[in-house]
Amino acid sequence: MDMEFANPKILWLLVVIPLLVAYYVWRSLQGGASIVISSTESLRKAPRTVRYYLRHLPAVLRLGVLSLVIVALARPQTIEQNVKTNVEGIDIVLAMDISGSMLARDFKPDRLTAAKEVAAQFVASREGDRIGLVVFAGEAFTQSPLTTDQSSLQTLLARMRSGIIEDGTAIGNGLATAVNRLRESEAKSKVVILLTDGVNNRGHIAPKTIAEIAKDMGIKVYTIGVGRNGTAPYPVFDERGRVVDVVEAKVEIDEALLKDIAEITGGDYFRATDKRTLEAIYAQINEMEKSKVEVYETIHINEEFLRFLLIALALLVTEFFVKYIILKRIP
């Protein structure tokens, strides 16, 4: 809580106070009426009464009253400012393909690593949203439920790797698992971002059927096809998981299916041919799906001049008491 003045220029009048103090001191040194006596020895030895020590108090009190009145005229105010922020977050599930083909090296260093890095940037930019992570290959499972804990989500993204589940591309299973994570969501906006580099060749769930279910649940699905046009270098591994060769193979992405899924649910389909375009796609989705932020600001202004006037009045009464009661001169 800060104090401000509505008429701060009036405070310049306070420069008069030191001048009045100097004038009072000068007058005191000049002395008043005088009488001639033969010796001052008896006066020096006379005891000093309370009146002697209080002789300057009325002047001090009067200067205090004047100072307080000047401050009151400047209208001191205390300002209370309360800001309340209401964030209406979005529930987002990232469904990411971790099949063996995601290790293709048409992205640097490979598709999966590039996808993880770009997804991590996306997560960092979605403060206030709940984000979940689903991974799929030949089957699908939930890597992270919906959470606002970005730290743990970033850790899980970094640990995500290919080869931990049966190979293949079960787009329907991946989408179904992502949609299921949003089944009990009460958010006004629910989104799935599905990223894959292949053709649906595993799983027992039809992707379009799940897309229709997602539509009925108010879930929007953005689909991303990853891989450059033509061919791409794919690593060949031995039984110990070591790369023994790199071969060029045709890039096959079921773009027609991914477009249908996006169209059914009211989302969009994107094609990423390198890491830069993938970053642009996530940035575009980030702009399209903005969280609603409402800021309520209330300001209370309390006038404080009355407090200073009351103190000034108390000093004035005190001055009257001291001057006319305690220091009263008897003719």
DSSP string, 103-150: G-TTSSS-HHHHHHHHHHHHHHT-TT-EEEEEEESSSEEEEEEEES-H
Cα distance between residue 148 and residue 320, in whole Å? 68
Please name the residue that has the structure tokens 């830069």. Answer: 276
pTM of the full predicted structure? 0.65
Q: Name the maximum alpha-carbon separation found in the chain.
A: 128
**What is the dotted CATH code of the domain comprising 90-290?**
3.40.50.410
Please name the residue that has the structure tokens 């730290």. Answer: 151
Helix (H, G, I), strand (E, B) or coil at 164: coil
Cα distance between residue 108 and residue 276, in whole Å? 10
Q: How high is the pLDDT of residue 250?
A: 92
Residue among 210, 224, 199, 211 at smallest CA distance from 138 = 199
Strand locations in the chain (E): 2-5, 76-88, 91-97, 130-136, 140-147, 190-196, 219-226, 231-237, 243-250, 269-272, 292-303
Q: How high is the pLDDT of residue 188?
A: 85
pLDDT along the chain (331 residues), means of 10: 83 89 83 56 58 76 89 87 70 95 94 96 90 96 93 94 92 96 90 95 93 96 95 86 86 95 96 95 90 67 87 88 73 51
Q: How high is the pLDDT of residue 25?
A: 85
Q: How high is the pLDDT of residue 93?
A: 97
